Amino acid sequence: MARGHGHLIVTSSSLGLFPEQVPLGGAYTLSKSGLIGLARTLNAYLSPQGVGVTLLCPDITNTRHTLEVPLVGIPTEVFEAGLELEALQSPDEVADALLAGLRDDTFLVSLTPDVRQRLHDDIDQMTGRGQVPDDAVIVQSGRLVIEEDLHDRASAAIRELVAKSVHDAGNISFAISADLVERGVFYVYEEWESQSALDQHADSEHGRAFVGMLPSLGMRELSLRVHRVESSQEVSIPV
């Protein structure tokens, strides 16, 4: 700190990130989770003073500690039965990952496969957001491409669909617009108060009728993307 530079490495474990992997290893995971908290605290305190901090979280590694020292509170036979030997990583792999993290100035160096996605999944599970609530606004957008010669017929069918769909329960916005240059290309934008509102629209008489008509229009492409919006903010632009 006096020099204003340097680097500190704190070694924890994948069990500190994902303790449910070994439910009976509470004492061990407690110590490893504590090291994660320590590393984050040190990083917040030391980084502004020019001292870097790296948190190293190896996964299951081929060392004597892994193979010969069972975790406190776990019977040896239970520990050995749950040990996936084919998943063992070498100490060299851990060292290489650490050096790469130091070069890139990465705070968390984890050797757990798909660690980013697993952490996201954990957050969703802990906050109860694994299932999207039905009150989330649904935005569906995409592109419809039909035979160019049937453009006018498709336009008439789309106008009828839009005229009815905007009155469906839970609809906020419903528009299908033709490309200004390329005939046969249409852009879809729908906004619904909930997933159930979109489902009811899809099962409506006019919704099913339009979908059933698409083959006769020579549909070449229908690509839709669904966005679930759980929060929004109104923005006013001064005139």
Is the pLDDT assigned to residue 2 strictly greater than 80? Answer: no
Is the pLDDT assigned to residue 106 strictly greater than 70? Answer: yes
- Looking at residue 74, its pLDDT comes to 55
| Residue showing tokens 């605290």 | 41
Letter for the amino acid at 124? Answer: D
Give me the residue spans of the domains in the chain: 6-126, 137-229
Which residues, other chains included, contact 110 with Cβ-Cβ below 8 Å and sequence gap of 6+? 14, 17, 57, 59
In this prediction, residues 193-216 reach a mean pLDDT of: 92
pLDDT band at 233 (very low <50, low <70, confident <90, very high): low
For 6-126, CATH number? 3.40.50.720
Task: Write the CA distances from 72 to 59, 159, 232, integer angstroms.
Answer: 18, 70, 49
Tokens of 131: 């299932």
Orientation of helix 205-213 relative to helix 195-202, angle to 10° = 60
- Looking at residue 124, its pLDDT comes to 76
The span from the CA of 39 to the CA of 153, in Å, is: 65
- The CA-based dihedral angle spanning residues 201, 205, 206, 210, taken in that order and rounded to the nearest 10 degrees: 100
The span from the CA of 9 to the CA of 16, in Å, is: 16
> What percent of the chain lies above the pLDDT cut of 90?
51
Is the pLDDT assigned to residue 44 strictly greater than 90? Answer: yes
Is the pLDDT assigned to residue 134 strictly greater than 70? Answer: no
Tokens of 231: 């929060």
For 137-229, CATH number? 3.30.70.100
* H or E stretch at 192: strand 185-192
- Are both 6-126 and 137-229 of the same fold? no
- Looking at residue 66, its pLDDT comes to 56
